[in-house]
Amino acid sequence: MVEHFYPEKDYGTPARLSENLITLNIDGVEITVPEGTSVMHAAARADINIPKLCATDNMEAFGSCRLCTVEIEGRRGYPASCTTPVEPGMVVRSQTRALAKLRRNVMELYISDHPLDCLTCPANGDCELQDMAGAVGLREVRYGFDGENHLDAVKDESNPYFSFDPSKCIACSRCVRACGEVQGTFALTIEGRGFDSKVSAGKNTSFVESDCVSCGACVQACPTSTLMEKSVIDQGQPEHSVITTCAYCGVGCSFKAEMKGDKVIRMTPWKGGSANHGHSCVKGRFAFGYATHKDRLTKPMIRASIDEPWNEVSWEEAIDFAARRLREVQEKHGRKSVGGITSSRCTNEETYLVQKLIRAALGNNNTDTCARVCHSPTGYGLKMTLGESAGTQDFDSVMEADCIMVIGANPTDAHPVFGSMMRKRLREGASLIVADPREIDLLDTPHAGEGIHLPIRPGTNVALINALAHVIVTEGLEDEAFVTERCDPEEYRAWRAFVAEPRHTPELMADVIGVPAETIRRAARQYATAGNGAIYYGLGVTEHSQGSTMVMGIANLAMATGNIGRPGVGVNPLRGQNNVQGSCDMGSFPHELPGYQPVNNDQIRHRFEATWGVSLDAEPGLRIPHMFDAAIAGEFKAMYVQGEDIAQSDPNTHHVEAALRSLELLIVQDLFLNETAKFAHVILPGSTFLEKNGTFTNAERRINRVRKVMPPLAGKEDWEVTMALANALGYSMHYQHPSEIMDEIAGLTPSFAHVSYDKLEELGSIQWPCNDEHPDGMPIMHGDSFPIGLGRMVVTEFIPTTEKVSESYPLLLTTGRILSQYNVGAQTRRTDNNVWHSEDVLEIHPHDAELRQIADGQPVTIASRTGNTVLKARLSKRMQPGVVYTTFHFPHSGANVITTDNSDWATNCPEYKVTAVQVLGTNANALSDWQQKFYAFTREQLDYLETGHQEGNR
């Protein structure tokens, strides 16, 4: 394992950007910095380190500790260097006898009310207070502990991940400011005045009961051991660190895995991470314990039938068994009777190898990915309109947005670090428009203006986008210069005439959409006239029968208003999982080779054939839902699934389970015995992001390195497993390191042409396209032109979903995620994140609950045309009457037992967001028929797993 240690210099105050440069003199050194820079920051740039306690460079200066005082020629007193901006010709002295005495006196006062237990303190060796005491030369404390002090303050141990010890607190306010400035939650405050000042999470409220979201910003900001990770308290200080990339959501945060030997002690967000800038959320920061959880699969296993116990075998035996059975299936049922599903959680390199194995070793294009069921409409819609299947901006672009429109997304829950960045921009004055059936937390951003909420009826997205466009074109709010220069004129005229039709007026569409006409008009004007208008959208756009239509509608709106091609604007899909973008880029779809290159293009396909040394099928393969249908029909017989839990995540669970039971061979490569693995015949243990090398590509097209920090528990990284399976199938793969796989990708994929591990080490990260024209990547796309030449504006006819409410099913169910859990929950459910969300519940408006005599917390049956399940009700005014909401993080909840197999017309992305249901109260211990069968089947499969373990240990 290659170890990396990245010391992070803290400049005390944020850097400033200005074309005006200021030159000053500090301790005899001439320093030139941008105007607005603090004296402290300027000094740090010259490696003149002024003592500090309340200052840190990810927050604005506060000036409370008085340890950073300096002398400035021509000024009286001792100003704080953190709050003093530089001036031309300023002469500063940071080290004088008077300053040394003053600083020692200040430090002495701090220490007089601080425990002198450094040798036993968990922060010993990593404590800024300790460091500053040494830096100022403090050798004695004249003030005893006889008087009033805070040394007996009671610890708050309520949070599962960190403790709060107020006896160590120096009231520097760094935690309070981090909670406000960095995270944007404002959960912490300084309570009391003077000697009675103390950090508080709320009046008589513990941390875990407060509004704290456990992002870790306060812990990271604390200069003492007041706020301290329990993992460090229990296991001691880490000894080395490795920079890697988080494996949760599509933000792609960079972290330092801080290690002791090969054990992770803590994950701290890396300031050098261009996606997160040193911030984090509860999942990436603390929920890494799943990597070493007792449930991890660490031994390959095989069996002939899902009604038999597992047999633990060697890697060689498992791989040979899987390869032999795949060939037997093909010989019996034909070359196209097998296929596979790549992962949006595995690395680019691993995903590339799986689709390569299917195309080159199995000889067909039956490859798909979980992006099919989340963001495939993004790929289709943006490719059709803008010419590229990805978002247009980097995350930092939002800091220049004047109007932020969020459609069908909940950033503070699903993309929390970016959600914090959004909140910061809103506090700075950007306006907010949210189109969502549910009231999301972003609308309640503290210290921001009032946002416009469009509580649309599920399934009416396209009607809304057409109504917004109608207002813009009929009120003359288009950017005519942009449209004339950048858009296809004939298609623009057709689109403009279409949206200008009276049937699209907000007044006529208000009843359909469920939003007052004037609110729609106000939102359209706000977006079109703001200056920089940015659209961010999520699964509430794509997971509809008109998902692709809506993506094209969003692109139409951005082009019509000129909100493309510069900072602060753009069309920005918020990808759900860590490598959804990458899994699409790597050729996981059945009709496209890596880089979205059509498999039926002879010239393109021949290039791959020349490199891969095999003839490739020109006919696109099966999509995931078609694989299921073909399996039930007896035509599709074997599947290789890497890192996806289709039995839990895909819609219409009855249909999915029937398909899996129909397979003669299911090979599952994963971390745990998930819902899909219960139907498997071969289990190949997977490796977590901590156990592998590779790259992830986040929602802003940013390619980040993933670096191995500990050996794989099962002995192999995922790419090595796929390579071994290919070789066993008779197709030769021989890579020594994932960097070699990336070199092959770069040679075949134009948008990755200049990507290499060496360049990633040099630049830190790269946003594709990275080619001859943009050798260091392209943070913001479409600045001067589109890849297809002129932008294409597509007519977006609103076609109502066939899933409609009725007397039997009068409510609409929509689904989503929650902050503390992730996707199907396989990772987060095996951590202490369960403290905040231990079960999926059904959110229902109090009015709908009252009509059904449902009380808060009562079990209810949710029935749809597809199936039914039982959840507890949570009464919530965040819902609108007529709409209910649940998450899908726990397999026994059966959320997808209810969802239908309706899907997007272009991509077959399921319509998770619109399901007609009825909700009725039920008995306290009631379970649906499916849930009863689920528990019985799970017990049976766990028994089979335990039998296999016992046999393997004999």
- Angle in degrees, CA 581, 585, 587, rounded to 5: 130
Q: Supply the angle between the helices 517-529 and 461-474 in degrees, to the nearest 10.
A: 60
Q: With 60 as the cut, is the pLDDT of residue 4 above it?
A: no
Give the per-residue SS3 of 291-355. Answer: HHCCCCCCCCEECCCCCCCCEECCHHHHHHHHHHHHHHHHHHHCHHHEEEEECCCCCHHHHHHHH
pLDDT confidence of residue 643: 94
pLDDT confidence of residue 859: 96
For residue 77, report the phi and psi dihedrals to the nearest 5 degrees. Answer: 75, -165
Chain segment 576-624, per-residue pLDDT in tens? 899 999 999 999 999 999 999 999 999 999 999 999 999 999 999 999 9
Structure confidence at residue 143 as a pLDDT band (50, 70, 90): confident
Structure confidence at residue 275 as a pLDDT band (50, 70, 90): very high
Question: Is there a contact between 361 and 726 (Cβ–Cβ < 8 Å)?
Answer: yes
In whole angstroms, what is the distance from residue 881 CA to residue 454 CA? Answer: 14
Chain segment 719-778, per-residue pLDDT in tens? 999 999 999 999 999 999 999 999 999 999 999 999 999 999 999 999 999 999 999 999
Rounded average pLDDT over 651-678: 96
Structure confidence at residue 8 as a pLDDT band (50, 70, 90): confident
Q: Which of 56, 54, 41, 69 is nearest to 110 (CA)?
A: 54
* Stated length of the chain: 954
43-52, 88-97, 201-210, 513-522: which range is least confident on average?
A: 201-210
Beta bridge partners of 842: 873, 886
Question: Is there a contact between 158 and 208 (Cβ–Cβ < 8 Å)?
Answer: yes
In whole angstroms, what is the distance from residue 585 CA to residue 595 CA? Answer: 5
Tokens 């506060």 correspond to what residue? 62
Question: Is there a contact between 561 and 479 (Cβ–Cβ < 8 Å)?
Answer: yes
Give 715's Cβ-side CA count (13 Å radius).
8
Structure confidence at residue 1 as a pLDDT band (50, 70, 90): very low
Q: With 80 as the cut, is the pLDDT of residue 144 above it?
A: no
Chain segment 667-701, per-residue pLDDT in tens? 999 999 999 999 999 999 999 999 999 999 999 99
- Angle in degrees, CA 841, 844, 846, rounded to 5: 135
Structure confidence at residue 374 as a pLDDT band (50, 70, 90): confident
Chain segment 897-936, per-residue pLDDT in tens? 999 989 989 999 999 999 999 999 999 889 999 999 999 9
Q: Which of 544, 552, 605 is nearest to 909 (CA)?
A: 544
In whole angstroms, what is the distance from residue 820 CA to residue 920 CA? Answer: 28
Q: With 80 as the cut, is the pLDDT of residue 824 above it?
A: yes
Q: pTM value?
A: 0.95
pLDDT confidence of residue 950: 82
Chain segment 424-475, per-residue pLDDT in tens? 999 999 999 999 999 999 999 999 999 999 999 999 999 999 999 999 999 9
N-to-C CA span, the chain = 32
- Torsion region of 536: left, alpha or beta (phi above 0 gives left; psi -120 to 50 gives alpha): beta
Return the percentage of the chain with pLDDT > 90, whole number: 92
Chain segment 290-328, per-residue pLDDT in tens? 999 999 999 999 999 999 999 999 999 999 999 999 999
pLDDT confidence of residue 141: 84
Higher-pLDDT residue of 18, 142 = 18
Give 142's Cβ-side CA count (13 Å radius).
3
Structure confidence at residue 142 as a pLDDT band (50, 70, 90): confident
With b for 16 or more beta-carbon neighbours within 10 A and e for fewer, the 462-472 pattern comes to bbbbbbbbbbb
Strand extents, DSSP E, 834-888: 841-844, 859-864, 868-875, 883-887
Token reading at 681: 């015949």
**What DSSP string runs through 117-156?**
-GGG-TTTTS-HHHHHHHHTT-----S-SSSS-STTPPPB
Return the percentage of the chain with pLDDT > 70, whole number: 99
pLDDT confidence of residue 351: 97
Give 36's Cβ-side CA count (13 Å radius).
9
Tokens 């990336």 correspond to what residue? 742
Name the amino acid, one letter, at 360: A
Mean pLDDT of the chain: 95
Chain segment 156-168, per-residue pLDDT in tens? 999 999 999 999 9
Chain segment 506-524, per-residue pLDDT in tens? 999 999 999 999 999 999 9
Q: With 70 as the cut, is the pLDDT of residue 3 above it?
A: no
In whole angstroms, what is the distance from residue 717 CA to residue 739 CA? Answer: 14
550 sits in which H/E element: helix 547-560
Chain segment 101-111, per-residue pLDDT in tens? 999 999 988 98
Q: With 60 as the cut, is the pLDDT of residue 67 above it?
A: yes
Q: With 90 as the cut, is the pLDDT of residue 666 above it?
A: yes
